[in-house]
Amino acid sequence: MNEKTHTLPKAKIEKAFLNWVIWALPVAAAGLCLYFILHDFIFAGPTITIYFQSADGLEHENSTVKYRGANIGEVKSMTLTKDKKFVAVEAKLNYSAGDVARQGSVFWMVRPELKVGSISGLRTIVSGNYINVQPGNGPRTNEFLALNEAPVEPVKAVEITLLTDDLGSLQKQTTIFYRGVQVGEVLDFRLADDSRRVLVRARIRDEYAPLLRVNSKFWNAGGIDVHIGLFSGAQISAESAQTIVSGGIAFATPLDYGDIATNGAVFALAEKPDDEWKKWNPVIPLHGVPEAQKEKSSLPQINSK
């Protein structure tokens, strides 16, 4: 073969791809695993145990723990306690919600409820029951006793006691009105120790607290008042449509009002208002802006990962 007539092209020699670079792959894989493990380890929320009298409607690995409608944890397991009086529901909280595991936090189950004047928990008909929480701020703990029903949301308020002979249509959360405006609600009630009267614990929200004076008068505003007069015909009056079904309490403060009532003040709850009470029209300056409006003005801090 003649080399001069057949000149072949020449292969190019180039720098090779660095061989060790391939080992970055296993290192990256190991790094990813390490990240998964560390992430789970560092961002693990606490596991808490909540004792329920009945865990009806909860499902393990399926039911959630919620606060203000946001999922903050999930139910991991349900076991019966040794004395068979409670169901110990173990729930794993999210990292960002770990702060909920404090003494004073209250847990309760949200289930569909139909009461006179209110329907609640409708969503749970399809989604199943879930656990709701109201965070406390005590020292850390991992064990809680669940409430049987939803607690009243705590707001700054003046707590008072009303004495009445008969509970009537009053119930928890029954509204307290001042001139038809909702200013407070009933917290709970019980029979007095001598069982002659009913003690109704109620609260007036802080922003309306100046309205409540030591000589204020309370009356039962539930139901419908029907007055039939010879000349005036029939007069039907009610505080509001809501009070017709679920009852209500109203109060008025006289023109020569006394000191502002403080926590623990006791008032009598009259069956019917005196005509005079409804005419009282004192000038009382309300201090401050309602709390709900205050909250809106400042952006919340997000407690995230």
Partner 1 sequence: MDKMVACETCGLVQEMDAVPEGSVAKCARCNFRIAYRRTSSRSRTLAFSIAAAILYFPSNFYPIVTAFYQGQHTQTTIFQGIKSLWEHHQFFIAALVFCTSMFTPALKIIGLIFITLTLDWPYWKKARTWIYQIIRAIDPWNMLEVFLLAIGVSLIELGQAATVNPGRGVFSFAAVVVLTLLATLSFDPRLLWDSPAEQKRYE
Site of interaction with partner 1 (CB under 8 A): 8-17, 19, 22-23, 25-26, 28-30, 32-33, 36, 59, 61-64, 74, 123-124, 126-128, 130
As measured in angstroms, the least distance from the Cβ of 80 to partner 1 is 23
Q: Which residues pair with 87 in a beta bridge?
A: 52, 80
Using alpha carbons only, give the angle 110, 246, 237 rounded to the nearest 5 degrees: 155
Q: Is the CB of 21 or the CB of 228 nearer to partner 1?
A: 21
Q: How far is CA 45 from the centre of its chain?
A: 21
As measured in angstroms, the least distance from the Cβ of 261 to partner 1 is 43
- Amino acid 186 reads V
Q: Is the CB of 74 or the CB of 207 nearer to partner 1?
A: 74
Q: Is the CB of 61 or the CB of 259 nearer to partner 1?
A: 61
As measured in angstroms, the least distance from the Cβ of 126 to partner 1 is 5
Q: How far is CA 173 from the centre of its chain?
A: 13
Q: Is the CB of 3 or the CB of 259 nearer to partner 1?
A: 3
As measured in angstroms, the least distance from the Cβ of 303 to partner 1 is 21
The Cα 249–Cα 163 span in angstroms is 12
- Whole-Å CA distances, 70 to 57, 73, 124, 212: 19, 9, 14, 36
As measured in angstroms, the least distance from the Cβ of 43 to partner 1 is 13
Q: Is the CB of 14 or the CB of 194 nearer to partner 1?
A: 14
Residue 297, both tokens: 């003005």
As measured in angstroms, the least distance from the Cβ of 79 to partner 1 is 20
Assess contact for 242 and 215: CB atoms under 8 A: no
Which position has the token pair 């057949």?
Answer: 6
Q: Is the CB of 81 or the CB of 127 nearer to partner 1?
A: 127
As measured in angstroms, the least distance from the Cβ of 24 to partner 1 is 8
Q: Is the CB of 37 or the CB of 181 nearer to partner 1?
A: 37
Cα dihedral across residues 89, 94, 95, 96: positive or negative: negative
Q: How many CB atoms lie within 10 A of CB 29?
A: 10
Over the range 215-253, which residues count as b (16 or more CB within 10 Å of their CB) and which as e?
Answer: ebbbbbbbeeeeeeeeeeeeeeeebeebbeebbbbbbbb
